[in-house]
């Protein structure tokens, strides 16, 4: 049974190692999610400490998906834009451990994030993702609109370039 929770800073701190496991597993598996090989738990812990600090400053909402007690996936909604774009949220780091994939965790995380975005009165969501990757199919299936492809925007963890597709979701125009 999968459930999704929005984490407060204390709860996130308690799950920091599990969040690190998910991030390490995704990077080990070759996902292009900001980090290069070799990537280890110390770097993952440092990354999550930064996210948890931002959580404490209410600059981000952090979601986690659980299968029973096991944290298997996570997603962030960043809200720290300047004052002329407070209506917009930036969606980042949709990560599901390889052992937990294809069971709807990512879908549930996106739905929980969108519900929270609407509750906060946001009207626009944006994200970017590797062109042709699993996540792209998922976003298209959930009514995200592709803006276009930026060639060689990022790197795979082994140093090769990868193209990136930019997406948006107009919450004002999309029924719940």
Ligand X SMILES: CC(C)(COP(=O)(O)OP(=O)(O)OC[C@H]1O[C@@H](n2cnc3c(N)ncnc32)[C@H](O)[C@@H]1OP(=O)(O)O)[C@@H](O)C(=O)NCCC(=O)NCCS
Contact 15/64 with Cβ under 8 angstroms? yes
Residue 171 to residues 56, 90, 135: CA-CA distances in angstroms? 26, 13, 19
- The least distance separating ligand X from the CB of residue 48, rounded to whole angstroms, comes to 16
Q: Closest CB to ligand X among 27 and 52?
A: 27
Which one of the spans 46-54, 76-84, 105-113, 163-171 is the region binding ligand X (CB under 6 A)?
Answer: 105-113
Handedness of CA 50, 52, 54, 56 (dihedral sign): negative
Closest alpha carbon to 107 in 70, 141, 62:
141
Which one of the spans 12-20, 79-87, 113-121, 136-144 is the region binding ligand X (CB under 6 A)?
Answer: 136-144
Which one of the spans 7-15, 25-33, 55-63, 158-166 is the region binding ligand X (CB under 6 A)?
Answer: 25-33
For residue 52, how many C-alpha atoms fall within 13 Å in the half-sphere facing its CB?
19
Give the residues lining the site for ligand X (CB under 6 A): 26, 31, 33, 73, 94-96, 101-107, 129, 133-135, 137-138, 141
């Amino acid at each position: 049974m999968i459930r999704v929770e929005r984490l407060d800073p204390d709860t996130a701190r308690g799950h920091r190692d599990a969040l690190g496991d998910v991030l390490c597993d995704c990077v080990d598996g070759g996902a292009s999610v900001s980090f290069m090989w070799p990537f280890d738990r110390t770097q993952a812990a440092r990354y999550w400490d930064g996210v948890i600090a931002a959580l404490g400053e209410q600059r981000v909402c952090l979601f986690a998906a659980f299968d029973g007690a096991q944290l298997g996936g996570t997603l962030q909604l960043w809200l720290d834009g300047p004052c002329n774009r407070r209506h917009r949220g930036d969606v980042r780091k949709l990560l599901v451990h390889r052992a937990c994939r294809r069971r709807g965790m990512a879908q549930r995380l996106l739905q929980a994030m969108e519900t929270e975005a609407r509750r906060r009165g946001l009207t626009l969501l944006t994200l970017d993702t590797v062109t042709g990757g699993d996540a792209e199919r998922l976003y298209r299936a959930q009514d995200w609109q592709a803006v276009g492809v930026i060639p060689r925007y990022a790197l795979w963890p082994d140093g090769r370039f990868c193209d990136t597709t930019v997406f948006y979701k107009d919450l004002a125009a999309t029924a719940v």
